[in-house]
Amino acid sequence: MLTHDDPIEFRDALRGPIRQQLASATGDFVLRRADGIYAYQLAVVTDDAAQGVTHVVRGVDLLDSTPRQIYLQQLLGYPTPAYMHLPVVTNAQGEKLSKQTQAAAVDVSRPVVQLVAAVRFLGQTPPAELAESNVASFWQWALENWSPQKIP
């Protein structure tokens, strides 16, 4: 996809105003790979539009992709969702925890313990006893107490 250097601007719900000039920041980008598969940028934009997505919450590691997606949304006449980019957990080298960095798998045998740890990482303050509850109770607490202002 050929880009231009007109600024792409949006307001991230956590990070405030974001501005990027595609041509100088990222350059042109691929929409369809050599093997014929459509690339992520186009796929996510069309999928979000088809589903009527109005809000996108994802890791800050994807923040630099957002202006490319907004550019495609503008070209295709799609609405632009509201965006929030959350902090990601990193290892001692500053790399995002993932299979690629040999991060340990999430222990799914105790899902509420993992969910409580995740919301604590995101600055929320669930009561200690919530970790001993069930998933439905966790989500009820989260719906009632989630505060984006607490996210670091």
Q: Which residues pair with 86 in a beta bridge?
A: 59
Asked if 7 and 142 touch (Cβ cutoff 8 Å), the reply is: no
pLDDT at 12: 98
Which pair of structure tokens corresponds to residue 26?
């990222």
Look up the pTM and report it.
0.86
Which CATH number do you get for residue 22?
Answer: 3.40.50.620
Which of 26-35, 79-88, 90-99 has the weakest average pLDDT? 90-99
The structure tokens 């969910």 sit at: 115
Say if CB 9 and CB 19 are below 8 A apart. yes
Phi and psi torsions of 90, nearest 5°: -125, 160
Q: How confident is the model at residue 1 (pLDDT cuts 50, 70, 90)?
A: confident
Check whether residue 69 and residue 122 sit in a common domain.
Answer: no
pLDDT in tens, 27-65: 999 999 999 999 999 999 999 999 999 999 999 999 999
Domain count along the chain: 2
| pLDDT per position as a tens digit, 100-130 | 888 888 888 999 999 999 999 999 999 999 9
**Residue 36 structural domain:** 7-86
| pLDDT, position 99 | 85
Q: Are strands 82-86 and 16-21 parallel, antiparallel or unpaired?
A: unpaired
How far is Cα of residue 66 from the mean position of the Cα atoms in its chain? 9
Same domain for 121 and 56: no
pLDDT band at 137 (very low <50, low <70, confident <90, very high): very high
Q: What percent of the chain has pLDDT over 70?
A: 100
Q: Is residue 14 part of a domain?
A: yes
Residue 95: pLDDT above 90? no
